[in-house]
Structure 1
């Protein structure tokens, strides 16, 4: 017997704000979080000068120095998003739940914080360990977000760290959903986070996959657009509180949506070149898990990185599975590609839009690339529609594919 899984809390940290009302207002005003990083000039040998940073973020005053010392920026953003999501769920101070073993964490990032790496580099190059502290590894390890969340709240349930690049956040949500669905946990903290670092940018810059529209930050990235010239790296965090339906109902919790389907697979073919057929297989498996047909999906939140190979493969996979021009949009025109955070942030904001029945257009999409498959791309203005089911898809280096399906409650 399987259990229903509902969302009882959600929050995030983004380049456009840290609460839905602020983010919605700014998106509706046509704003994006993309800026020109003038501080990179003359410092980093990068083609791009664009990013989507989170401005003015700090946890000082909210937690004490001892609590923060093991957290780099990525863990701090994960904790901030989680604290607000727990508050929304009415679980912020439920120590009995935290310590009882039935609440766990599935949370990911591509990497931990990068500044501590410098200390280890200095050791390797010069034999000097003076820059390494007792918390250097804790801050840089790939499971730093999950571990710091767990230690801060005294959580004794299972920990599932997901470090799968651009699917880290969506995979965290998916594995949390499965943990509850199959009775292993009653509540899960799920999501992903990533901090902005030139090293992350360099990964894509060396592949000529970044946007170089450096003097036009308001007009890039351009997902699915014929004139797109690459992605823009962002940062942030997103957290969902997932809960067994009966458990949530018994405590009178408000429910913001239900997860009804999840699938993940791998291409097994190429590290950086996506395979449309395996992408499509993940989408179909998610539908199968939900017991739905493609006609039941009202809108797709696409990955939409604004890269040539990625956009084409994704759109073709989507068209093959749906066999119709399903409505689709992506939020990466607004927030850039926040890597390990994107799937969680997109799930959170997608649920908010489902609740209100207003879906923002893909920012900067003006002329759909004729090579992209025939889909109903939301562009120009927001789409007012009632969506009972939303599919949210993410794809990562290594050919890792994820697909989540949410139901409106």
Structure 2
């Protein structure tokens, strides 16, 4: 069977810089940060970071009550983004029930708040006090399972859990599923719920930003000499992928196309990045699309603002594409939304392609010499963008690259 072309027909996003394409577009153009002070975290002993990137304005009641009962915030964010994406793509709900549509939505863990409540109730009140729906909120495939039930999806349902690479794996997995003829449409992406335990996890590894607690919008600082760690965030990004002729038959606008995908593992270290593994994944993605580095107009970097991670990624990127292609990290705007970041960054890249500009790396004021050799974008650039290489690199050495293009 000849590989089928896979296009993007809808996007839904809830992010620290906006909950609609229009709001996100304005934030990217205006350099508006979504990072804010987290005063509630002052209560936690020995927690150094006091900044986070939250989603404001989630209307939980927009989700039907019968669906909400088994959803924690991580699933609610995914559901709201999915509703937005399906409306954007004008998807008939009967199509979702046909068996030819599927779901791949990742999350790092189940709802942290639901997990906290589960164990606190069990500890203080005993097993009989537990709610029967709490486990459904804290299970690691809560977002995917809840979306499948909410939309009555009878096709394939996957729930990648690879931390920062979760939603880019979900998109790549969906791309391959449609390309090879197993489904005609996939609802894919990822969701992340912010909780103090997430901040603490990175804090004890020395990975969080702490020098800018009094000036939240000044951090994170990807590739900058003064970067001091990542800022944990939350959000959800859901993408509607569809086989090209299927989309044309439905008569819906085509926003972009997935041209290539690769995911590989370093198999070297649980938390330290590997230059060779990152480079191998980027090169494999280009090869899968039959493209060369010179065919790429922009690179959306994973760069989270950690000293080692950004430098390693910069070196690996230079190994594959050289130093002429514009590169920026949109995490300067959103912080690190973990399982949601890959899908949100795909959405941001599609917005940039369709509107002819490249957003800069926010807070990149003084380039670290360890990150030199690339064409860093420090101010907004108005220019045509036809193809984007979007990269994400996760703990465990799990690497992903997606190649996106404008429809041709």
8 Å Cα contact 2:63-2:76 kept in structure 1: no
- Residue matched to 1:67: 67
- Partner of 1:87 in structure 2? 87
Deviations 1:111-153 (A, max 9, x none): 1201222344347756822442111111111111111111001
Q: Which stretch of the first structure deviates more once superposed, 41-50 or 354-363?
A: 41-50
Contact 1:166–1:341 (8 Å) recurs in 2? yes
1:162 to 155, 160, 163: 160
Name whichever structure is richer in helix by fraction. 2
Residues 192, 339 of structure 2: 8 Å contact kept: yes
Instruction: Assess if the C-alpha contact under 8 Å between 2:35 and 2:216 holds in 1.
Output: yes
For 2:105, what is the secondary structure of its paired residue? strand
Map 1:116-155 → 2, pairs under 5 A: 116-122=114-120, 128-155=126-153
Q: How does 1:348-363 map to 2 (within 5 A)?
A: 348-363=347-362
Does the alignment pair 1:187 with 2:185? yes
In structure 2, the residue matched to 1:6 is 7
CA distance in 2, matches of 1:384, 1:57: 32
Please report how far the alpha carbon of residue 199 of structure 1 lies from its aligned counterpart in structure 2 after TM superposition. 0.8
* 1:32 counterpart = 2:33: yes
Structure 1 position 44, deviation (Å): 5.0
1:100 to partner: Cα distance: 1.1
For residue 310 of structure 1, what is the aligned residue in structure 2?
Answer: 309
2-structure distance, mates of 1:124, 1:137: 12
**2:218 match:** 219
Structure 2 Cα separation of the partners of residues 203 and 40 of structure 1: 14
**Matched residues in 1 for 2:56 and 2:347: separation?**
20
Give unpaired runs (5+ residues) of structure 1.
none
Q: How many residues align?
A: 405
Give deviations 1:183-207, integer Å, cap 9, x for gaps.
0100000100101001111111001
CA–CA separation in structure 1 for the residues paired with 2:240 and 2:63:
21
TM norm structure 2: 0.97
* Partner-residue secondary structure (3-state), 1:300: strand
CA 1:21–1:124 in 2, change beyond 3 Å: closer, same or farther? closer
Question: How has the CA–CA distance of structure 1 residues 322 and 178 changed in structure 2, closer, same or farther, with 3 Å as cutoff?
Answer: same
Q: Assess if the C-alpha contact under 8 Å between 2:122 and 2:130 holds in 1.
A: no
Partner of 1:347: 346
Task: Give unmatched runs, 5+ long, in structure 2.
Answer: none
Q: Provide the rounded CA distance (Å) in 2 between the counterparts of 1:131 and 1:402.
A: 42
> 1:19: which partner in 2?
20
Instruction: Confirm whether residue 52 of structure 1 aligns to residue 53 of structure 2.
Output: yes
The DSSP-based 3-state class of the residue aligned with 2:11 is strand
Which residue of 1 is the match for residue 237 of structure 2?
238
Residues in 2 aligned to 1:115 and 1:244: alpha-carbon distance in whole angstroms: 38
CA RMSD of aligned residues (A): 1.4
Partner Cα distance (1:131, 1:403) in 2: 45
TM-score normalised by length of structure 1: 0.96
1:241-256 equivalence runs, <5 A = 241-256=240-255
